[in-house]
Amino acid sequence: MSKLRVRFAPSPTGYLHIGGARTALFNYLLARKEGGSFILRIEDTDVARSTQESVDAILQAMEWLGMQCDEGPVFQSARFDLYRQKVRQLLDQGLAYRCYCTAEELEAKREQALQEGRKPKYDGTCRALQGTFSERPFVVRFRAPGSGATTFEDRIKGPITFQNEELDDLIIQRSDGTPTYNFVVVVDDAEMAISLVVRGDDHINNTPRQILLYQALGYPVPDFAHVPMILGADKSRLSKRHGATSVMAYRDMGYLPEALVNYLVRLGWSCGDQEIFSMQELIEKFSLEAVGKSASVFNPEKLLWLNAHYIKHGDSQRLGELLTGHLVQKGIEVGDGPAPAAVVDALKERAKTLLEMAEQAACYYRSEVVFDPDAAAKFLVPALGSAFETLLRRMEGEGDWQESTLERAFEEVLHQTGLKFGKLAQPVRVALTGGSAGPGICQIMVLLGKERTLARLRQAIGMLA
């Protein structure tokens, strides 16, 4: 058997959508699993809508998700000569023809068909024309068979049949000389020897038209697998109304790529009741046979749950670097503050996203404590003045600034003041971080370091008076 060759073929007219990312992932996993090739093809024949910015955004998102291609990116805009040659081939063989009907004529015919209750379809006016009219603009149409049926075995959906009479004489080249999607996709998939086309099921209606083109061009027909759509909670097609749909927006919201990969692949594919998969495990276990036939609903809570899982189990050093990026985004300098990896260790159990973690971490880096007014009013009360003084003195004298030592010192202060742990710990937490939630009190002191801890205790004492 020849090697599997699959491709991802985005149109660069916007960012990488999470639906597209899932299609790309399915292709990528199959290629890796079978030792095949994963090809990236940028479908930029629509010059007016394609932008370099989108190309860059797509490449960046693919890289972020960890999908490296084996060939490409191949740009369709660099292949116009090939497409022109293939249009000429079909014209020469009589399998395509020039159509001179004007847009107005076609519109009038369309309206008439609709009025008469017929399905609008090109009526074949120019099919039998002899000769060419060089001065008149024309499109090139494929001479579709008009009868019989086109059948294919979809690797996800099963056998699918279309009646050829339903299929129009497709335009393969526009009047400006540019080729159309259905034509170039066939030429490229064939010329790049793609053996399996995995794409969204919004393309399923294109497949029989494309199969007819493969046959006309004398190419072998690849296998097809059409992946069901992703829907929002209201069962309509996932769109911005349901939340972020751009892959990179998830990075900016503090998601980890492994969480998004894990989530997207599970959206439509399952493997027993296993939920957590590394990329390597996905490569081993993914198969089209286990992809469901119907659409899946995007569930942001589950994605968040997976993200929390990967944060909890992630490498602190790496997460620390990512956290730093989010802090800088918030205008916070890491500078001489605690090592980000140590902050990650303190917060990884309680933050579901890196953005949330950056919010919780900000207090360890800011020079000023930003107090939550409710927490300050509730906990920083004058009655605690002498307990805070005792704590300050004890901590001033502490030479070994480590969590276990500080815990002992804190116990001593509790003993001296006769306060229960929570009665002192919570106000101290507010004094040190500005808020009443956070890691253990001695962990906070270690993160802040001695100098900042003492300064913040003194500041609180000033507020208590």
**Catalytic site residues?**
240
Angle between helices 257-266 and 18-33 (to 10 degrees): 80
Strand order across the beta sheet in which 196-200 lies: 158-163, 149-154, 223-227, 196-200
Q: What residues form DSSP beta bridges with 8? A: 40
Among 43, 188, 201, 356, binds ligand GLU (CB under 6 A): 43
Strands 196-200 and 223-227: parallel
Peptide bond into 73 cis (omega under 30): yes
Eight-state DSSP code of residue 238:
P
The rounded distance, in Å, linking the Cα atoms of 307 and 301 is 10
Give the angle 398-382-407 at the CA atoms, nearest 5°: 25
Strands 171-173 and 139-142: antiparallel
What residues numbered 199-238 form the site for ligand GLU, per CB under 6 A? 199, 203
Q: Among residues 45 and 296, whose Cβ is nearest to ligand GLU?
A: 45
In whole angstroms, how close is the CB of 224 to ligand GLU at the nearest point?
Answer: 9
Question: Under rule CB under 6 A, how many of the chain's residues touch ligand GLU?
Answer: 7
In whole angstroms, how close is the CB of 182 to ligand GLU at the nearest point?
Answer: 9
Q: Among residues 6 and 387, whose Cβ is nearest to ligand GLU?
A: 6
In whole angstroms, how close is the CB of 27 to ligand GLU at the nearest point?
Answer: 9
Give, in order, the Cα–Cα distances in Å from 378 to each of 373, 387, 388, 419, 460.
Answer: 8, 16, 15, 17, 13
Tokens 């800088």 belong to which residue? 328
Residue 443 found at the interface with ligand GLU (CB under 6 A)? no
Closest residue to ligand GLU, judged by C-beta, is 199
Q: Among residues 154 and 407, whose Cβ is nearest to ligand GLU?
A: 154
Among 74, 185, 194, 267, binds ligand GLU (CB under 6 A): 185
Q: Among residues 24 and 282, whose Cβ is nearest to ligand GLU?
A: 24
Q: Among residues 203 and 429, whose Cβ is nearest to ligand GLU?
A: 203
Q: Among residues 18 and 256, whose Cβ is nearest to ligand GLU?
A: 18
Of residues 449, 267, 275, 460, the one with CA closest to residue 371: 460
In whole angstroms, how close is the CB of 275 to ligand GLU at the nearest point?
Answer: 29
Burial (0-12, 13-18, 19+ Cβ within 10 Å), 305 = middle
Question: What is the distance in angstroms between the CA of the first residue and the CA of the last residue of the chain?
Answer: 83
Q: Among residues 141 and 203, whose Cβ is nearest to ligand GLU?
A: 203
In whole angstroms, how close is the CB of 237 to ligand GLU at the nearest point?
Answer: 13
Longest dimension (CA), the chain: 107
Q: Among residues 240 and 313, whose Cβ is nearest to ligand GLU?
A: 240
Strand blocks (E) in 44-195? 71-75, 96-99, 139-142, 149-154, 158-163, 171-173
In whole angstroms, how close is the CB of 298 to ligand GLU at the nearest point?
Answer: 19
The rounded distance, in Å, linking the Cα atoms of 454 and 432 is 9
Answer for the pair 127, 97: CB distance below 8 angstroms, yes or no: yes
**x/- string (CB under 6 A) for ligand GLU, residues 5-34?**
----xxx-----------------------
In whole angstroms, how close is the CB of 241 to ligand GLU at the nearest point?
Answer: 20
In whole angstroms, how close is the CB of 73 to ligand GLU at the nearest point?
Answer: 13
Chain contacts with ligand GLU (rule: CB under 6 A) = 9-11, 43, 185, 199, 203
